[in-house]
Structure 1
């Protein structure tokens, strides 16, 4: 587990750590208290990944196309 705060992680960092957390929990060789902390960390990581995916979806949705369907730029996303 990294010491980097979840809210500062990129999607890739959060996903990689989430995979490690899930792997540890799946093995079942972690004491109960540590499992609870891992589960909580996993929930934070999952939420971070969802936020980053939503941001990406909004950016993609704002890409403008010309009449031939080619990208011409992006419309600013409000609130980002």
Structure 2
């Protein structure tokens, strides 16, 4: 099981669980692609999970970096270095 973080824009991100982490998938009628991970994450309780981050295909790598940094503050699953 993978923890999936989908960053839609500067105001919207969601966390869900998937059995796989495909390179590209259509989710909620939009094509999104894998931008980071899957990476292993250990939370503050010592629980290990695999996290993958997705963004809509139309967003650039620079936009990904900015949005990741913006959402990292509020989405614990993005704390990949924990």
Could you tell me the TM-score, scaled by structure 1's length? 0.27
Query: Whose strand proportion is higher, 1 or 2?
Result: 2
Which structure carries more relative contact order (alpha carbon 8 Å, separation 6+)? 2
Could you tell me the TM-score, scaled by structure 2's length? 0.27
The structure having more radius of gyration, on CA atoms, is 1
Query: Whose helix proportion is higher, 1 or 2?
Result: 1
